[in-house]
Amino acid sequence: MTIALTASNVTVRFGSTIALRRVSASCARGATTVILGPNGAGKTTLLRCLVGSLRPDEGNVTLPGGERVHALSPAKLARHVAFHGQSRPMRTDLTVRQIVELGQFAVGRSIERVESVLDAFDLAGAAEQAFRTLSAGNQQRALLARAVAQLQADGVLVLDEPFATLDVAHVQRVVQVIRELRDDGQSIILTTHRFDLAHALADDVWLMRDGGIVAAGTASEVLRPERLDVVFGVPFQRVTTPSGAEWWQPASTSAAP
Partner 1 sequence: MSNRRSPMIGLVVLTILLVLMIPLRVLIDRAPDGSLGFAWPEASYASFRWMALAGGMVVGVALGVSGGLLQSMLRNPLASPYILGVSSGAGLGIMVGLYLASIGRVTMHSTFETIPAVLGALVVLGLVYAFGRRDRRLDPVTVILIGVVISTMCGAGMMLLQSLVPAGLRGEFLRWLMGRIPEALPMSTLMICTAITGIGLIWSIRIGRAMDVAVLPDDECQTAGVSIAQLRTLQFVLAGMLAAVAVTIAGPIGFVGLIAPHTARLLVGPTHRPRIIGAALAGAVLVIGSDVARQVIDLGHGRLPIGIFTALIGGPVFLWLLLSGRAE
Residue 25 or 126: which CB sits closer to partner 1? 126
Binding to partner 1, residues 112-131 (CB under 8 A): 128-130
User: Rounded to the nearest whole angstrom, what is the least distance from the CB of residue 58 to partner 1 in the complex?
Assistant: 17
Rounded to 5°, the CA angle 145-149-152 comes to 140
- Partnered with residue 11 across adjacent β-strands are 58
User: Residue 203 and residue 36: Cα distance in Å, rounded?
Assistant: 13
Residue 28 or 130: which CB sits closer to partner 1? 130
Query: Of 30-38, 112-120, 146-154, 164-172, which segment contacts partner 1 by CB under 8 A?
Result: 146-154
Instruction: Determine contact, residues 205/217, Cβ cutoff 8 Å.
Output: yes
Q: Are strands 187-191 and 32-36 parallel, antiparallel or unpaired?
A: parallel
User: Rounded to the nearest whole angstrom, what is the least distance from the CB of residue 112 to partner 1 in the complex?
Assistant: 19
147 is a contact residue toward partner 1 (CB under 8 A): yes
| 2, 133, 172, 254: residue in contact with partner 1 (rule CB under 8 A) | 133
Terminal-residue alpha carbon distance, the chain: 45
Tell me the Cα Rg of the chain: 18
Q: Are strands 81-84 and 156-160 parallel, antiparallel or unpaired?
A: parallel
108 is a contact residue toward partner 1 (CB under 8 A): no
155 is a contact residue toward partner 1 (CB under 8 A): no
Binding to partner 1, residues 64-103 (CB under 8 A): 73-75, 77-78, 81-85, 87-95, 97-98, 102-103
Sign of CA dihedral 189, 194, 199, 205: positive
- Provide the binding-site residues for partner 1, judged by CB under 8 A: 48, 51-54, 73-75, 77-78, 81-85, 87-95, 97-98, 102-103, 105-107, 128-130, 133, 143, 146-147, 150, 158
